[in-house]
Chain A
Amino acid sequence: MSLVTLALAGGFALILIGLYGALNNRNILRIIIAFTLADTGVNLVLVAVGYMPGRTAPVLDAAVPVDQANALIIDPVPQALVLTAIVIGLGVTALMLAYALRLFASRHTLDISKFTELKW
Protein backbone atom coordinates (compact mmCIF):
# COMPACT_ATOMS: atom_id res chain seq x y z
CA MET A 1 0.00 0.00 0.00
CA SER A 2 2.00 2.96 -1.17
CA LEU A 3 1.19 6.60 -0.63
CA VAL A 4 0.00 7.09 -4.18
CA THR A 5 -2.42 4.16 -4.04
CA LEU A 6 -3.86 5.42 -0.77
CA ALA A 7 -4.28 8.95 -2.06
CA LEU A 8 -5.87 7.74 -5.31
CA ALA A 9 -8.26 5.46 -3.45
CA GLY A 10 -9.18 8.29 -1.09
CA GLY A 11 -9.76 10.67 -3.98
CA PHE A 12 -11.99 8.21 -5.82
CA ALA A 13 -13.95 7.50 -2.63
CA LEU A 14 -14.44 11.21 -2.09
CA ILE A 15 -15.79 11.60 -5.63
CA LEU A 16 -18.26 8.78 -5.05
CA ILE A 17 -19.41 10.18 -1.69
CA GLY A 18 -19.83 13.65 -3.20
CA LEU A 19 -21.86 12.34 -6.12
CA TYR A 20 -24.05 10.29 -3.80
CA GLY A 21 -24.72 13.35 -1.68
CA ALA A 22 -25.54 15.48 -4.72
CA LEU A 23 -27.99 12.93 -6.10
CA ASN A 24 -29.69 12.10 -2.85
CA ASN A 25 -30.23 15.27 -0.89
CA ARG A 26 -33.19 17.61 -1.15
CA ASN A 27 -31.82 20.74 0.43
CA ILE A 28 -30.02 22.92 -2.13
CA LEU A 29 -27.25 23.87 0.30
CA ARG A 30 -26.48 20.20 0.95
CA ILE A 31 -26.25 19.58 -2.79
CA ILE A 32 -23.73 22.39 -3.12
CA ILE A 33 -21.68 21.01 -0.21
CA ALA A 34 -21.60 17.61 -1.92
CA PHE A 35 -20.36 19.21 -5.14
CA THR A 36 -17.46 20.83 -3.31
CA LEU A 37 -16.57 17.44 -1.82
CA ALA A 38 -16.48 15.86 -5.28
CA ASP A 39 -14.36 18.78 -6.52
CA THR A 40 -11.81 18.22 -3.73
CA GLY A 41 -11.71 14.52 -4.64
CA VAL A 42 -10.94 15.25 -8.28
CA ASN A 43 -8.12 17.61 -7.30
CA LEU A 44 -6.67 14.97 -4.99
CA VAL A 45 -6.65 12.40 -7.79
CA LEU A 46 -4.92 14.82 -10.15
CA VAL A 47 -2.14 15.68 -7.71
CA ALA A 48 -1.65 12.03 -6.72
CA VAL A 49 -1.03 11.06 -10.35
CA GLY A 50 1.94 13.41 -10.55
CA TYR A 51 3.77 12.01 -7.52
CA MET A 52 6.94 9.95 -7.90
CA PRO A 53 8.34 8.06 -4.92
CA GLY A 54 11.77 9.16 -3.77
CA ARG A 55 11.60 12.64 -5.28
CA THR A 56 10.79 15.99 -3.77
CA ALA A 57 8.73 19.09 -4.43
CA PRO A 58 9.37 21.18 -7.56
CA VAL A 59 11.12 24.11 -5.88
CA LEU A 60 14.80 24.68 -6.70
CA ASP A 61 16.21 25.66 -3.34
CA ALA A 62 19.08 24.33 -1.20
CA ALA A 63 17.80 20.75 -1.36
CA VAL A 64 17.64 20.61 -5.16
CA PRO A 65 20.69 21.98 -7.02
CA VAL A 66 19.86 23.46 -10.39
CA ASP A 67 21.77 20.99 -12.53
CA GLN A 68 20.21 17.96 -10.85
CA ALA A 69 16.67 19.26 -11.06
CA ASN A 70 15.72 16.81 -13.73
CA ALA A 71 16.49 13.85 -11.47
CA LEU A 72 15.17 15.13 -8.17
CA ILE A 73 11.77 16.78 -8.60
CA ILE A 74 8.33 15.43 -9.33
CA ASP A 75 6.08 16.37 -12.20
CA PRO A 76 5.14 20.06 -11.86
CA VAL A 77 2.42 20.19 -14.52
CA PRO A 78 -0.45 18.54 -12.54
CA GLN A 79 0.23 20.95 -9.68
CA ALA A 80 -0.11 23.97 -11.95
CA LEU A 81 -3.38 22.59 -13.34
CA VAL A 82 -4.81 21.82 -9.91
CA LEU A 83 -3.97 25.32 -8.64
CA THR A 84 -6.16 26.78 -11.35
CA ALA A 85 -8.83 24.16 -10.71
CA ILE A 86 -9.10 24.96 -6.99
CA VAL A 87 -9.54 28.67 -7.59
CA ILE A 88 -12.17 28.14 -10.26
CA GLY A 89 -13.92 25.64 -7.97
CA LEU A 90 -14.38 28.44 -5.47
CA GLY A 91 -15.79 30.66 -8.21
CA VAL A 92 -18.30 28.01 -9.21
CA THR A 93 -19.32 27.49 -5.57
CA ALA A 94 -19.89 31.22 -5.14
CA LEU A 95 -22.06 31.28 -8.26
CA MET A 96 -24.11 28.30 -7.06
CA LEU A 97 -24.64 29.96 -3.69
CA ALA A 98 -25.76 33.20 -5.32
CA TYR A 99 -28.33 31.31 -7.34
CA ALA A 100 -29.45 29.40 -4.25
CA LEU A 101 -30.08 32.73 -2.51
CA ARG A 102 -32.16 33.95 -5.45
CA LEU A 103 -34.15 30.73 -5.54
CA PHE A 104 -34.82 31.04 -1.84
CA ALA A 105 -35.87 34.67 -2.25
CA SER A 106 -38.43 33.73 -4.86
CA ARG A 107 -40.06 30.72 -3.18
CA HIS A 108 -38.96 30.82 0.48
CA THR A 109 -37.99 27.18 0.44
CA LEU A 110 -34.74 25.36 -0.16
CA ASP A 111 -36.28 22.05 -1.09
CA ILE A 112 -35.39 21.24 -4.66
CA SER A 113 -38.46 19.11 -5.27
CA LYS A 114 -40.67 22.20 -4.90
CA PHE A 115 -39.21 23.88 -7.99
CA THR A 116 -41.25 22.16 -10.64
CA GLU A 117 -41.62 24.69 -13.44
CA LEU A 118 -39.22 22.89 -15.73
CA LYS A 119 -40.72 19.45 -15.29
CA TRP A 120 -42.84 18.19 -18.14
Chain B
Amino acid sequence: MSTLTLLMAVLALAAMLGGAAVAVASKSTAVAILAAGLVSLMASVLFVLLAAPDVAMTEAAIGSGLTTFLFFFVLGRVKEEQDDD
Protein backbone atom coordinates (compact mmCIF):
# COMPACT_ATOMS: atom_id res chain seq x y z
CA MET B 1 0.00 0.00 0.00
CA SER B 2 1.82 3.09 -1.15
CA THR B 3 1.97 6.08 1.12
CA LEU B 4 0.62 8.46 -1.51
CA THR B 5 -2.63 6.51 -1.79
CA LEU B 6 -2.90 6.37 1.96
CA LEU B 7 -2.33 10.12 2.19
CA MET B 8 -5.04 10.75 -0.40
CA ALA B 9 -7.41 8.53 1.53
CA VAL B 10 -6.71 10.39 4.78
CA LEU B 11 -7.31 13.76 3.14
CA ALA B 12 -10.53 12.60 1.48
CA LEU B 13 -11.74 11.15 4.75
CA ALA B 14 -10.95 14.34 6.66
CA ALA B 15 -12.81 16.46 4.08
CA MET B 16 -15.74 14.05 4.18
CA LEU B 17 -16.11 14.07 7.95
CA GLY B 18 -15.64 17.83 8.10
CA GLY B 19 -18.34 18.28 5.48
CA ALA B 20 -20.66 15.95 7.38
CA ALA B 21 -20.19 17.94 10.58
CA VAL B 22 -20.97 21.17 8.73
CA ALA B 23 -24.05 19.61 7.12
CA VAL B 24 -25.48 18.56 10.45
CA ALA B 25 -24.60 21.58 12.54
CA SER B 26 -24.76 24.63 10.32
CA LYS B 27 -27.41 27.32 10.71
CA SER B 28 -28.28 27.85 7.08
CA THR B 29 -29.93 25.10 5.06
CA ALA B 30 -28.25 26.06 1.78
CA VAL B 31 -24.80 25.58 3.34
CA ALA B 32 -25.93 22.20 4.68
CA ILE B 33 -27.02 21.06 1.21
CA LEU B 34 -23.69 22.10 -0.32
CA ALA B 35 -21.80 20.30 2.45
CA ALA B 36 -23.80 17.13 1.74
CA GLY B 37 -22.77 17.43 -1.91
CA LEU B 38 -19.13 17.69 -0.80
CA VAL B 39 -19.50 14.56 1.33
CA SER B 40 -20.83 12.70 -1.69
CA LEU B 41 -17.94 13.87 -3.87
CA MET B 42 -15.32 12.79 -1.32
CA ALA B 43 -17.07 9.44 -0.95
CA SER B 44 -16.76 9.06 -4.72
CA VAL B 45 -12.99 9.68 -4.48
CA LEU B 46 -12.77 7.04 -1.75
CA PHE B 47 -14.63 4.60 -3.96
CA VAL B 48 -11.99 5.06 -6.67
CA LEU B 49 -9.25 4.40 -4.13
CA LEU B 50 -11.08 1.24 -3.05
CA ALA B 51 -10.93 -0.07 -6.66
CA ALA B 52 -14.65 0.33 -7.44
CA PRO B 53 -14.92 2.53 -10.58
CA ASP B 54 -18.56 1.69 -11.37
CA VAL B 55 -19.69 2.67 -7.91
CA ALA B 56 -17.63 5.87 -8.04
CA MET B 57 -19.28 6.97 -11.28
CA THR B 58 -22.73 6.24 -9.93
CA GLU B 59 -22.11 8.07 -6.66
CA ALA B 60 -20.64 11.11 -8.42
CA ALA B 61 -23.48 11.42 -10.93
CA ILE B 62 -26.34 10.64 -8.58
CA GLY B 63 -25.16 11.60 -5.12
CA SER B 64 -23.39 14.86 -5.74
CA GLY B 65 -25.26 15.89 -8.87
CA LEU B 66 -28.90 14.97 -8.81
CA THR B 67 -29.45 14.88 -5.03
CA THR B 68 -28.02 18.37 -4.52
CA PHE B 69 -30.24 19.74 -7.25
CA LEU B 70 -33.32 18.03 -5.88
CA PHE B 71 -32.68 19.67 -2.53
CA PHE B 72 -32.17 23.08 -4.09
CA PHE B 73 -35.41 22.85 -6.06
CA VAL B 74 -37.33 22.10 -2.90
CA LEU B 75 -35.50 24.79 -0.95
CA GLY B 76 -36.32 27.34 -3.62
CA ARG B 77 -39.98 26.37 -3.54
CA VAL B 78 -40.12 26.66 0.25
CA LYS B 79 -38.28 29.99 0.34
CA GLU B 80 -40.49 31.55 -2.29
CA GLU B 81 -43.58 30.63 -0.35
CA GLN B 82 -42.13 31.98 2.84
CA ASP B 83 -41.29 35.26 1.12
CA ASP B 84 -44.85 35.64 -0.11
CA ASP B 85 -46.38 35.89 3.37
Contact = CB atoms under 8 A, between A and B. Distances in A.
Contacts of B40: 36, 40
B70 A3 contact: no
Contacts, number: 131
7 contacts: A36-B63, A37-B36, A55-B51, A57-B53, A83-B58, A90-B63, A97-B74
Interface of B: 1, 5-6, 9-10, 13, 16-17, 20-21, 23-24, 29, 32-33, 36, 39-40, 43, 46-47, 49-55, 58-59, 62-63, 66-67, 70-71, 74-75, 77-78, 81-82, 85
Interface of A: 1-4, 6-7, 10, 13-14, 17-18, 20-21, 24-25, 27, 29-30, 32-34, 36-37, 40, 43-44, 47-48, 50-51, 53, 55-57, 59, 74, 79, 82-83, 86-87, 89-90, 93-94, 97, 100-101, 104, 108, 110
A108 B78 CA distance: 9
A50 B81 CA distance: 46
Given A86-B58, A110-B78, A6 B24 contact: no
Mostly helix, strand, loop or mixed at chain B's interface?
helix
Given A30-B32, A37-B36, A57-B52, A94 B70 contact: yes
B52 A79 contact: yes
B5 to A, nearest CB: 7
B9 A29 contact: no
Given A29-B29, A90-B67, A14 B20 contact: yes
Contacts of B75: 29
